[in-house]
Every structure is written in structure tokens, then in C-alpha cells.
Structure 1
């Protein structure tokens, strides 16, 4: 369950309460007003956190791509300089980002 799901669930739980659950009509009315005011804010937080997560995934993927290309190029260069004995493949950083190390 994502943080957005948990926030929506808590908001819905408050919205679904009956006046008798809150103790009095006044408390219930205040809870309803609170829920209405914060619903928009919760939606914005969900939108932002989703956007942030997507951005971080894209940054990670781009880093892995660039790191892999650099590791391959350096491995090829080392191989050419040493006459064929260089390393190739993923770097330690790439393996860790992908959960392989």
C-alpha cells in the first residue's frame, strides 16, 4: 500500500463516520469540514509523491544506462591498452542500484 493509498483510506474512514461515532453533531460537523478542506491537500500530496517517485525512477534508470555505457567504454579501453585483458560488464554501482550486489 502506497502512502497515497493510506492517506486516502484515512480520509475515507473519517468521511464514512456517523454523527454518533464522533460523539456529537458539533464534532461531526467539524470533522466533515476538516475532511473537506484537507481532501484537496491530500490529492496534491499524492500527485507530488507519485511525480517524485516517477522522477527518481527515471533518474535511476538514466544513471544505470550512463554508468553501464561508461563501464563498457572504460572496459574496452582497458582491454585495448592491455592487449585484451580488460574488464567489461556492470559496475559495482550499477549492480547495487539494480539490487544485484
Structure 2
């Protein structure tokens, strides 16, 4: 059965790191644009559109960051569960082998 199902816990760890990096990238992009105000661009209509975009961008990136954080936490928990299962199974097999071989 083991040959048919395999979980690469290292890949899960890399995925978590990638998710966390994406949150940092979103935050950096929002921070870089935060200092640009609509009143620096030109017409009142363009200023208003810029301010509206900034508000929506902030809200959207905050929501996306929160969701990515939730996914990251779930993947971390799964990774830990797989690692625990592998360790527990290895321990159980070792104990079984010891008990069936008479401790030899």
C-alpha cells in the first residue's frame, strides 16, 4: 500500500514558505503604493478614482493575506500530521518486529 500513496512533507514545507512569501510580497506592494495619494495625480475625478482603487486594493490584499494565512496554517498542520503518522508507524513497526523476533 505504501507504494501507492506518498506525501512529500518537504514539498509541503516549501509550499508553506511560498504561501508566506506571497503574503509578504502583497504587503510590500501595498506599502510601496500607500504613499501615492490621489491628490498628487491631477484632476479631481482621477484623484477620486485613485483613492477608491487604493481603498479596494488595501481591502483586497488584507482579505487575500488572511485567506493565504489560513491555508498556510492548514498545510502546516497537515505536514505535522503526516510527519507524526510516519514516526508513529515507524515506531509501531519497530516494536512489532522486536516482539515477533523475541527481542533479538
Query: Does the alignment reach a TM-score above 0.5?
Result: yes
Aligned pair 1:64/2:83, yes or no? yes
Provide runs of 4+ in structure 1 moved above 4 Å.
none
- Relative contact order (alpha carbons < 8 A, sep ≥ 6): 1 or 2 greater? 2
User: How many angstroms apart in 1 are the aligned matches of 2:52 and 2:83?
Assistant: 47
Choose from 54, 60, 82 the match for 1:35: 54
Question: RMSD in angstroms over aligned alpha carbons?
Answer: 2.3
Aligned pair 1:54/2:68, yes or no? no
Task: Report the structure number with the largest CA radius of gyration.
Answer: 1
Structure 2: runs of 5 or more not aligned: 1-19
Instruction: Give the aligned length.
Output: 83
Compute the TM-score of the two structures, normalised by the length of structure 1. 0.65
User: How many angstroms apart in 2 are the aligned matches of 1:54 and 1:71?
Assistant: 26
User: How many angstroms apart in 2 are the aligned matches of 1:5 and 1:68?
Assistant: 33
Q: Deviations over 1:28-78 (max 9, x none)?
A: 442321111121111111111111111111111122112211111111111
Aligned pair 1:13/2:23, yes or no? no
